[in-house]
A and B are shown apart, each in its own frame.
Chain A
Amino acid sequence: KAGVTQTPRYLIKTRGQQVTLSCSPISGHRSVSWYQQTPGQGLQFLFEYFSETQRNKGNFPGRFSGRQFSNSRSEMNVSTLELGDSALYLCASRTVSNNEQFFGPGTRLTVL
């Protein structure tokens, strides 16, 4: 079974730009969560989507948004990029009844 895939793997942007990251969950997984990982703050929860609805949101500004499509694929968008947004953005998927989340390889975003 194919794992969680994320595209692109690496991205370089400049301050003020916006970016869209994509995540394809494991086949049959309908829940997708997004996390930000930085050396200083570690892994922090951004939001979770299930059946195209946002279920929960972490403590991030409104510049961070996401959506989920009917095929369970998800995108997250960051507008008006800041230097502090440089991080590894991880996507994780799970089945409806399971607690275990399986992570993708991440997208490394660098903001210059």
Chain B
Amino acid sequence: GESVGLHLPTLSVQEGDNSIINCAYSNSASDYFIWYKQESGKGPQFIIDIRSNMDKRQGQRVTVLLNKTVKHLSLQIAATQPGDSAVYFCAENIGGYSTLTFGKGTMLLVSP
């Protein structure tokens, strides 16, 4: 079936580097996308979202890019900090009234 997937299961970076986490989705009907951060032993926490009528959205130190042509989503974290170490999930939604479909996640490891 159609699903959301991630290219890199683990990403290791140095503190201060910029990090890019990628996500591919296959359901062209998806119109809303969310990035979540999950720290060990905790539930997912909302980071940033984007709707399909946009191709870029910026938050504090984070930017989400959406390329609908190739069905690709990315999360960019600027000046990565050790506290950013976690698993990052992308999730997709259709129409706003259904549930979220999550990808498998990427582990981000930030070394001091």
A and B from one assembly? no
Give B residues with C-beta under 8 Å from A. Answer: none
Give A residues with C-beta under 8 Å from B. Answer: none
